[in-house]
């Protein structure tokens, strides 16, 4: 099922990205290009800058140096407000723990980004339910997050990340809290949806099995790109 007709995956490019947190260096001269529709896994040791890179690419932080582009947008030249608006409409994010709101039903959780964009409630809930069906948990639409499994909650978080039809999905250890079976099933779902809907995916993982779902693996070490190769080539 395709929930919107045109693929509108965004290409991503980072050029000469440097970032320090105060005196602590996190990224040095990172160059990275991701083609529209490509899935890239970012791996590397703890503290190597993976999450910082994701934050720089998604416009959560403006790096000290360098340029980031998402599609046509030069993210590093945009104001804070323009970056948050871009994130709300064109960027989906998924975290290790789904970060669903406990007091809202699963359908309301998925509808939330649309409600924040002032879509009508009935319309937002109908779109949310279509996404819950797409991730195979529509039966749970009226449950609360506390009443479902971790794997189911992560599918709901994926639906929420995609409900605004973003052109890019950034995922930081999306399977880190799941067992290997739930992790595989989440990755199969992400790959299928990315191919069907037209989505560029950058995902951080420390798990080689999860990285194998990607087209390319970029390895960070001490804030630098240490390797960048297509997964099939290994």
Q: Does 43 bind ligand ATP (CB under 6 A)?
A: no
- Least Cβ distance, residue 46 to ligand ATP (angstroms): 3
Beta bridge partners of 218: 42, 228
Q: Does 49 bind ligand ATP (CB under 6 A)?
A: yes
- Least Cβ distance, residue 226 to Mg ion (angstroms): 16
Closest to ligand ATP by CB, 24 or 118 = 24
SS (H, E, C) 100-135: CCCCCCHHHHHHHHHHHCCCCHHHHHHHHHHHHHHC
40, containing H or E segment: strand 39-43
- Least Cβ distance, residue 130 to ligand ATP (angstroms): 33
The residue with tokens 């871009």 is: 86
- Least Cβ distance, residue 95 to Mg ion (angstroms): 10
Among residue numbers 3 through 22, which ones bind ligand ATP (CB under 6 A)?
21
Query: How many angstroms separate the CA atoms of 27 and 200, rounded?
Result: 22
Beta bridge partners of 158: none
Q: Does 51 bind ligand ATP (CB under 6 A)?
A: yes
Q: Does 52 bind ligand ATP (CB under 6 A)?
A: yes
52 contact choice in Mg ion, ligand ATP, none (CB below 5 to 8 Å, kind-dependent): ligand ATP
Contact 187, 175 (CB under 8 A): yes
* Interface residue list for ligand ATP (CB under 6 A): 21, 24, 26, 44, 46-52
């Amino acid at each position: 099922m395709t929930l919107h007709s045109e693929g509108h995956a965004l290409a991503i490019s980072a050029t000469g990205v440097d970032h320090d947190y105060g005196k602590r260096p996190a990224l040095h001269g990172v160059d990275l290009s991701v083609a529209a529709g490509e899935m890239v896994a970012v791996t590397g040791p703890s503290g190597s800058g993976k999450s910082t890179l994701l934050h720089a690419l998604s416009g959560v932080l403006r790096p000290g140096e360098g340029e980031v582009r998402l599609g046509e947008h030069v993210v590093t030249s945009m104001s804070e407000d323009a970056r948050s608006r871009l994130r709300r409409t064109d960027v989906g994010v998924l975290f290790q723990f789904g970060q669903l709101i406990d007091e809202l039903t699963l359908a309301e959780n998925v509808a939330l980004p649309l409600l924040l964009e002032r879509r009508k409630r009935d319309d937002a809930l109908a779109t949310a339910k279509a996404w819950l069906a797409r991730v195979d948990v529509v039966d749970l639409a009226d449950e609360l997050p506390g009443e479902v499994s971790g794997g189911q909650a992560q599918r709901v978080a994926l639906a929420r990340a995609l409900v605004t039809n973003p052109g890019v999905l950034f995922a930081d250890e999306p399977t880190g809290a799941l067992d290997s079976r739930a992790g595989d099933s989440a990755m199969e779902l992400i790959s299928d949806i990315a191919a069907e809907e037209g989505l560029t995916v950058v995902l951080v993982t420390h798990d080689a099995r999860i990285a194998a779902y990607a087209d390319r693996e970029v390895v960070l070490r001490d804030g630098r790109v240490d390797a960048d190769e297509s997964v099939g080539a290994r």
